A and B are shown apart, each in its own frame.
Chain A
């Protein structure tokens, strides 16, 4: 496993971040940001994945021959109607579910055990109710057998940014929905995986916090060259964050459009009213509408 994880992108190596795991966020030097990832070996490849659920008499075609590749350091957002199999795709990539057809290739090739190879933030926050916020967010390092103290130290540094300062000893049940979501995001980030799968991470946030965390995520992504797959229902968010937007059709989910967003980076300072942004959004919206209009019914009795 470690040999696979060791395959880091060139940028990272040249920036002296080869250690990857143990670098505290604040101490990392600002690396030169390279905007467009050159076509290299993809760190994640989804090949012709189909999935059908049979639940009693009901058959649900969730995914239909979905294929795409994510290259190191790429930021991909996925957008599509509700129930189009986006979460199912993430479950397949993390190895919780096996596809009916197709395969997942992670860095070294098709591996049998995919669990633990990518960082996954599910749609439900799924914090452990018996752990405080601080102990929840260090779950990743703890499962890897890394030092808990070091993990706690890093977590404490990041708590203010996530608006969780002062809540490190609170239990999840006493937090608001958005705070729980932020805690779940922090937990995912602290797993220190190269590939992060984020399932609607900012769904329950107010506009201001959402904007702030989007900026933070872009910052982290640029600094550490993570590869991010990001599901969202928000057109603006999809365009603002991504190198590429994958548009899913209604059930059965398939990729109906791939939109390249060639806005300059870093985008943290970009105006939300910028002409380019609006143009991309309009294009994406049109694609979504087209996908919904032709959405074939996937259910058969």
Chain B
């Protein structure tokens, strides 16, 4: 745009042309602003509509329930205690070890698988191009459907449940590790390259360590899912495990037992997440020293 003539005086025609162009630009900008406001208002309206309709539905249905009281929904701690005493031996010797075994096996396989896929995607743009949509699609198919199929085909053993746990867990690990690998500081990588590092050295010494905080974030999500995955698999069909215990409780209308199973599931998940946190603290000492400094006193040093 050379609308400012060098040193010569602007004649009227040129000035009018500039004015026309300005008004045209102004019109375009105005239209865009109006469109943006309209779209945003629409989105907000939709969110509000679904939220209030959903809440209304919940309230209406709760009202319709007869004799709904806390006592019928929640068993007392004493009842829970009794259920625990009643089933303690079988829970401790059969169900919990089985669930734990499936969870840990599935989770570790998911971690190895996730790291491998993330590394492959990071290495080769072609693989990234192929694998990324496959990964996303693999999560859009309901895992439940695949899991039920697997268990109905392969039956009672631990194997199919381990696969279910893997299905539940590998995606968050893969995606977060991949994101972490891609987000390594490009200037750091440039420096390594300037120092003569080859691709492998850059990967091992810069990209992988940079991805570790993201990897652990993904692992934490996976750890939360993993126990639920195992329980879900067992619920469909199994000989032992907390899932079976839960299923039997429901079929014999023992709500206290069901709650016990839920409580134990939550406890196992919690322990697993705590374990991940512990390992993370140990492995990422650098990350936490930096953070600790920042909450001692915020500032940029």
- Chain A residues proximal to chain B, CB less than 8 Å: 91, 94-96, 115-117, 120, 122, 124, 126, 128-131, 139-140, 142-144, 171, 173-174, 176-177, 191, 301
B187 near A: Cβ within 8 Å? Answer: yes
CA–CA, A135 and B284, complex, Å: 15
| Contact residues in A for B188 (Cβ distance below 8 Å) | 126, 128
Q: Which residue of B lies closest to A180 (CB)?
A: B301
Most buried by B among A94, A128, A174: A128
Q: Which of B1, B187, B205 contacts A126 (CB 8 A)?
A: B187
Given contacts A124-B187, A177-B301, contact A130 B286 (CB under 8 A): yes
3 shortest interchain CB distances as A-B pairs = A116-B196, A173-B290, A94-B194
CA–CA, A130 and B293, complex, Å: 15
Q: Are B187 and A140 in contact (CB under 8 A)?
A: no
Q: Which residue of B lies closest to A120 (CB)?
A: B194
Q: Which residue of B lies closest to A119 (CB)?
A: B195
A contact patch SS: loop
Q: Are B1 and A301 in contact (CB under 8 A)?
A: yes
A57 → B minimal CB distance (Å): 10
A296 → B minimal CB distance (Å): 16
Not counting A129-B286, A173-B293, a sample of 13 additional A-B residue pairs whose C-beta atoms are within 8 angstroms of each other reads A91-B194, A115-B193, A115-B194, A115-B196, A116-B197, A120-B191, A122-B194, A126-B188, A129-B287, A130-B286, A139-B195, A143-B196, A301-B1
CA–CA, A187 and B292, complex, Å: 26
Q: Which of B190, B201, B206, B285 contacts A128 (CB 8 A)?
A: B206
B155 near A: Cβ within 8 Å? Answer: no
Q: Which of B194, B210, B285, B289 contacts A116 (CB 8 A)?
A: B194
A-B contact pairs, 19 of them (CB 8 A): A91-B194, A96-B190, A117-B196, A120-B194, A120-B195, A126-B185, A126-B187, A128-B188, A128-B205, A129-B290, A130-B210, A130-B284, A130-B286, A131-B286, A143-B192, A143-B196, A171-B286, A177-B301, A301-B1
CA–CA, A3 and B5, complex, Å: 59
B160 → A minimal CB distance (Å): 39
B83 near A: Cβ within 8 Å? Answer: no
A20 → B minimal CB distance (Å): 16
Given contacts A122-B187, A124-B187, contact A174 B290 (CB under 8 A): yes
Q: Are B1 and A140 in contact (CB under 8 A)?
A: no
- Chain B residues proximal to chain A, CB less than 8 Å: 1, 185, 187-188, 190-197, 201, 205-206, 209-210, 212, 284-287, 289-290, 293, 301
CA–CA, A95 and B191, complex, Å: 11
Q: Are A95 and B293 in contact (CB under 8 A)?
A: no
B contact patch SS: helix
CA–CA, A96 and B287, complex, Å: 29
A119 → B minimal CB distance (Å): 8
Q: Which of B185, B194, B301 contacts A95 (CB 8 A)?
A: B194
Given contacts A126-B187, A128-B206, A177-B301, contact A144 B196 (CB under 8 A): yes
| Contact residues in A for B210 (Cβ distance below 8 Å) | 130
| Contact residues in B for A130 (Cβ distance below 8 Å) | 209-210, 212, 284, 286-287
B205 → A minimal CB distance (Å): 7
CA–CA, A118 and B103, complex, Å: 52
Q: Are B195 and A126 in contact (CB under 8 A)?
A: no
Q: Which residue of A lies closest to B191 (CB)?
A: A126
CA–CA, A87 and B188, complex, Å: 15
CA–CA, A221 and B190, complex, Å: 26
Q: Which residue of B lies closest to A175 (CB)?
A: B301
Q: Are A128 and B196 in contact (CB under 8 A)?
A: no
Q: Which of B190, B194, B289, B301 contacts A171 (CB 8 A)?
A: B289
B289 → A minimal CB distance (Å): 5
Q: Are A128 and B301 in contact (CB under 8 A)?
A: no
CA–CA, A142 and B210, complex, Å: 19
| Contact residues in B for A131 (Cβ distance below 8 Å) | 286
Q: Are B195 and A191 in contact (CB under 8 A)?
A: yes
Q: Which of A143, A173, A176, A191 contacts B289 (CB 8 A)?
A: A173
Q: Which residue of A lies closest to B294 (CB)?
A: A173
| Contact residues in A for B1 (Cβ distance below 8 Å) | 301
Q: Which residue of B lies closest to A176 (CB)?
A: B301
CA–CA, A177 and B289, complex, Å: 17
| Contact residues in A for B187 (Cβ distance below 8 Å) | 122, 124, 126
CA–CA, A171 and B209, complex, Å: 14
Most buried by B among A115, A117, A130, A142: A130
| Contact residues in A for B201 (Cβ distance below 8 Å) | 143
Given contacts A96-B190, A128-B188, A131-B286, contact A140 B293 (CB under 8 A): no
Q: Are B194 and A174 in contact (CB under 8 A)?
A: no
CA–CA, A95 and B284, complex, Å: 33
CA–CA, A42 and B285, complex, Å: 46
| Contact residues in B for A120 (Cβ distance below 8 Å) | 191, 194-195
Q: Are B195 and A116 in contact (CB under 8 A)?
A: yes
Q: Are B290 and A171 in contact (CB under 8 A)?
A: yes
B5 → A minimal CB distance (Å): 15
| Contact residues in B for A115 (Cβ distance below 8 Å) | 193-196
CA–CA, A140 and B287, complex, Å: 23
CA–CA, A122 and B185, complex, Å: 14
CA–CA, A151 and B290, complex, Å: 26
| Contact residues in B for A173 (Cβ distance below 8 Å) | 286, 289-290, 293, 301
CA–CA, A122 and B188, complex, Å: 10
| Contact residues in A for B285 (Cβ distance below 8 Å) | 171
| Contact residues in B for A95 (Cβ distance below 8 Å) | 194
